[in-house]
Copies of this chain bind each other. A is one copy, B any other.
């Protein structure tokens, strides 16, 4: 078989598995956006059968044969082809090392655990949830062992979300970040300047929709290959050929819908920025969660909380909501957009204190996997860390250790990606501002094309060519570090709160 034929057959096999993945994606999106309340049983069965078929397609033994063949003919491959073979091998080995019965058991337990979490959270009942969490931890350790990470299961948890990253690397980055962040948060808390986001009330949903459609289209989302709907928790699903994003509306929290939408649009534009013809192959897929979050955070924070951005959109905002903003000055509006206030709930956190929520979770996950923290002791450890990092003590576990869904679904090692995303976004922000001067003036004119073009060339079009840290180094010329994030936060929030 010629390498060309083998390569073509490999791509076809990868795309077939990817297609089933996108079918799963539509079913998942529909579940959160459209599913009638009593139809969840059918949807669970549909997801199970498609997941099983996707797993079989991704672990098709023919992929292994083709990879063997292509690896023995490296010299005949182009650099792009070598990237595809290398990454496909990594994926394939992970898929086939997991026994189908394990994959089935993991899915079944995930579903049980999710429902247990939802009802225990409602009742603030950690003891009820603990056995499920223990089971999730056991399954995660088992999975790590199947994949050769017996000795360092948490490294696997990190790596599967951010390829190439280790728990040790994250620990060093977070320690450095924490050192700079805690004093900044204290200084802001002590500032006499106060934001009043609660003054923004009575923004009709229909007009909020108009605004966020205009904003997200203007920054560059292609609505001919995507849409925006409503769900309980905002998310973004799909590949560049069909992106489904969601947001949620509250008439008294207009900034929540808008910034959620811009965040998801950042995810969506990353997927849309990858070449359509390569979708389903490693050159048309995202690096990992950290880089994905860097794109959503970049647009949500670096761009949409800037003064330039609001020079463009404030007039339109006031046109749509003249009465609601009559007594709110421009400076008050901008301060509300950049409000900083420690909160117990991660999902309500501002972009400064958000990182402390992540550090808290990372430290607890690390100890859980090291065996130095037992599940039963988790609530106390959580509350102590919340007091230390945020200066707040949860009144109950619902506002503490039970607040997030991730652990219930076995998504250990996922939280760090949020904070890595913030670091990467800031490091890209410093770089692009150096290379493309006058960006904020672009924003003020409503022109986001130079910025989006730069992100496309440097991040989106790279696909999975590089691992997380390699990509940051290639694009910015420096290793990943929290210093740009600290500089960015000090610059933006120092100017507002510490003047």
Please give the residue numbers on chain A whose beta carbons come within 8 Å of chain B beta carbons, in ascending order.
Answer: 16, 19-20, 22-23, 26-27, 30, 34-39, 41-43, 45-46, 49-50, 53, 222-227, 239, 241-243
Number of this chain's copies in the complex: 2
Q: In the bound complex, how far is the Cα of B226 from the Cα of A242, in angstroms?
A: 24
Given A26-B27, A27-B26, A53-B53, answer yes or no on A19-B45 (Cβ-Cβ < 8 Å): yes
Measured between beta carbons, the chain B residues less than 8 angstroms from A26 are 26-27, 30, 46
Closest 3 CB pairs of A and B: A39-B242, A42-B241, A38-B224
Q: In the bound complex, how far is the Cα of B471 from the Cα of A328, in angstroms?
A: 71
Whether B23 lies near A225 (C-beta < 8 A) is no
Given A23-B27, A26-B27, A41-B241, answer yes or no on A224-B36 (Cβ-Cβ < 8 Å): yes
Q: In the bound complex, how far is the Cα of B36 from the Cα of A222, in angstroms?
A: 10
Q: In the bound complex, how far is the Cα of B229 from the Cα of A36, in angstroms?
A: 12
Q: What is the distance, in angstroms, from A96's C-beta to the closest C-beta of chain B?
A: 20
Given A42-B242, A53-B53, answer yes or no on A227-B36 (Cβ-Cβ < 8 Å): yes
Given A39-B242, A242-B39, answer yes or no on A49-B23 (Cβ-Cβ < 8 Å): yes
Contact for A46 among B23, B37, B53, CB less than 8 A: B23
Q: What is the distance, in angstroms, from A166's C-beta to the closest C-beta of chain B?
A: 36
Q: In the bound complex, how far is the Cα of B36 from the Cα of A142, in angstroms?
A: 41
Q: What is the distance, in angstroms, from A49's C-beta to the closest C-beta of chain B?
A: 5
Whether B38 lies near A227 (C-beta < 8 A) is no
Q: In the bound complex, how far is the Cα of B226 from the Cα of A355, in angstroms?
A: 41
Whether B242 lies near A35 (C-beta < 8 A) is yes
Whether A46 lies near B27 (C-beta < 8 A) is no
Q: What is the distance, in angstroms, from A18's C-beta to the closest C-beta of chain B?
A: 10
Measured between beta carbons, the chain B residues less than 8 angstroms from A224 are 36-38
Q: In the bound complex, how far is the Cα of B224 from the Cα of A19, in angstroms?
A: 30
Q: In the bound complex, how far is the Cα of B37 from the Cα of A226, in angstroms?
A: 9
What are 28 of the A-B contact pairs (CB < 8 Å)? A19-B45, A22-B46, A23-B23, A23-B27, A23-B46, A23-B49, A26-B26, A26-B27, A26-B30, A26-B46, A30-B30, A34-B227, A35-B242, A36-B224, A36-B225, A36-B227, A36-B242, A36-B243, A37-B224, A38-B222, A38-B224, A39-B225, A39-B241, A39-B242, A41-B241, A42-B242, A43-B242, A53-B53
Q: In the bound complex, how far is the Cα of B40 from the Cα of A225, in angstroms?
A: 9
Q: In the bound complex, how far is the Cα of B37 from the Cα of A227, in angstroms?
A: 10
Contact for A22 among B41, B42, B243, CB less than 8 A: B42
Q: In the bound complex, how far is the Cα of B241 from the Cα of A42, in angstroms?
A: 6
Q: In the bound complex, how far is the Cα of B26 from the Cα of A242, in angstroms?
A: 15
The residue in A16, A42, A43 that gathers the most chain B C-beta atoms within 10 A of its C-beta is: A42
Measured between beta carbons, the chain B residues less than 8 angstroms from A239 are 42
Q: In the bound complex, how far is the Cα of B34 from the Cα of A227, in angstroms?
A: 8
Determine the residue in chain B with the shortest Cβ distance to A39. Answer: B242
Measured between beta carbons, the chain B residues less than 8 angstroms from A243 are 36
Measured between beta carbons, the chain B residues less than 8 angstroms from A49 are 16, 19-20, 23
Measured between beta carbons, the chain B residues less than 8 angstroms from A45 are 19
Q: In the bound complex, how far is the Cα of B242 from the Cα of A300, in angstroms?
A: 36
Q: In the bound complex, how far is the Cα of B22 from the Cα of A50, in angstroms?
A: 11
Measured between beta carbons, the chain B residues less than 8 angstroms from A43 are 242
Q: In the bound complex, how far is the Cα of B239 from the Cα of A49, in angstroms?
A: 17
